[in-house]
Amino acid sequence: MKTDMTIVAGYDVGGAHLKVARIENGRLAAVRQIACPLWHGLDQLDAALASAAPIVGGAAIHAITMTAELTEIFASREEGVVALLERLRQRIAGDLRIFVGLKGFTDVQAARGDPLSVASANFLATARLVAERQPRAVLIDFGSTTTDIVACDRPQGLSDAERLQTGELVYTGLTRTAVPSVATRAPLAGQWQGLARDTFATMGDVRRILGELPEDVDFHATADGRGKSLSESLARFARGFGRDADMRHLTTWQASAAYVAERQMRSIHDGVLQVLSRPGIVAEAVVVAGIGASTAERIASRMNLRASDFGTLIDAPDEHRLWATRCAPAVSVALLQAKR
């Protein structure tokens, strides 16, 4: 296929999703999220890249960031980075530019020699772009699995391990997180009830029970392999209480689900407060991203900080604004590379 030097493709290679963006003449032209359950094997990445072809086709430059090196199929993060780089090199035709965090971009060969700078650096791409366009802003990117919280002018932690200490990474997500990793008890019919510490239900179920989950963001199988209707989500959620759903009315289960959702939101809010407690940090605004951007906006409101979504910040076309917000790192690496 003939390539066009004015087209840059951006990739955020995750362990659960591949997110891709297309930049033409410095403007976002397309963006998409594709299921990529990499824990089943590297062939899942092959399939996701094939699905991404209509978005990235014709691009001369391919800007790549990743978090998928954490997937269980790899013996170590370094091994994961090297294996993913090789797979991407084999599957993508064109000039691959690998994002290495604060060091910017490099080629595949150099990236192989510096795998820990490649590993889980996607948040830095978004933070860098936000810092250029909105000084003194805090990024809250609430995704399906994790939440990034970054004072964009002054990121502190660079690795997941460091960021789990600094509050910049809260390992909780809008859909894929298991309920008992958020709360080990919840109110039910006027009493506190301990929860089974097993993955009977996820936060996707919680949000379906509350009527808060958009239909187009939960791409993966449920915990029991059954469907995603309200009744099926209620059955999974109730099982964590050692009960069947028909033992209580819907409104009772919704009160329990609201408590679990609040506990999750509280954990993210606490992360924001930890980040803002660092000396010298001044926050005047919040930029929200991820499939949970609307929840992140509520946290900003609690803190009396004005919030804007990532898609609006980059002036994405109306038809792409929502998914630009949801796929911010893929869009960011593409835009950063397009300016070079």
- The answer to whether residue 110 sits within a structural domain is yes
CA dihedral 277→278→281→282, nearest 10 degrees, is: 10
Q: What is the CATH number of the domain that holds 202?
A: 3.30.420.190
- The answer to whether residue 302 sits within a structural domain is no
Q: How many domains does the chain have?
A: 2
- Is the same domain home to 98 and 192? no
Output the pLDDT for position 224.
Answer: 96
State which of 247, 266, 285 marks the end of a domain.
266
Output the pLDDT for position 57.
Answer: 95
> Residues 239, 116: contact at Cβ < 8 Å?
no
- Is the same domain home to 119 and 214? no
Phi, then psi, of 250 in degrees rounded to 5: -55, -45
Output the pLDDT for position 62.
Answer: 98
- The answer to whether residue 36 sits within a structural domain is yes
Query: Tokens representing 166?
Result: 């600094």
Q: Which residue from 338, 325, 340, 270 is spatially nearest to 130, judged by alpha carbons?
A: 325
> Residues 4, 38: contact at Cβ < 8 Å?
no
Rg value, the chain, Cα: 20
- The answer to whether residue 205 sits within a structural domain is yes
- Is the same domain home to 128 and 27? yes
> Residues 21, 334: contact at Cβ < 8 Å?
yes
- Is the same domain home to 215 and 320? no
> Residues 154, 281: contact at Cβ < 8 Å?
yes
CA dihedral 191→196→197→201, nearest 10 degrees, is: -100
Please state at what angle helix 328-338 crosses helix 122-133, rounded to 10 degrees.
Answer: 60
State which of 210, 233, 266 marks the end of a domain.
266
Q: Where are the alpha helices (DSSP H) in the chain?
A: 43-56, 77-91, 108-112, 115-118, 122-133, 160-166, 203-210, 230-239, 250-276, 293-302, 310-313, 321-326, 328-338
Predicted confidence pLDDT, tens digits, the chain (340 residues): 556 678 999 999 999 999 999 999 999 999 999 999 999 999 999 999 999 999 999 999 999 999 999 999 999 999 999 999 999 999 999 999 999 999 999 999 999 999 999 999 999 999 999 999 999 999 999 999 999 999 999 999 999 999 999 999 999 999 999 999 999 999 999 999 999 999 999 999 999 999 999 989 999 999 999 999 999 999 999 999 999 999 999 999 999 999 999 999 999 999 999 999 999 999 999 999 999 999 999 999 999 999 999 999 999 999 999 999 999 999 999 999 999 8
d(CA 126, CA 289): 9
Q: Using the 8-state DSSP alphabet, how is residue 15 labeled?
A: S
- Is the same domain home to 13 and 128? yes
Query: Tokens representing 12?
Result: 């955020």
- Is the same domain home to 321 and 249? no
- The answer to whether residue 87 sits within a structural domain is yes
Identify the domain containing residue 69 by its residue range.
4-133+312-338
- The answer to whether residue 145 sits within a structural domain is no
Output the pLDDT for position 340.
Answer: 82
Output the pLDDT for position 291.
Answer: 97
Q: What is the CATH number of the domain that holds 81?
A: 3.30.420.40
- Is the same domain home to 112 and 211? no
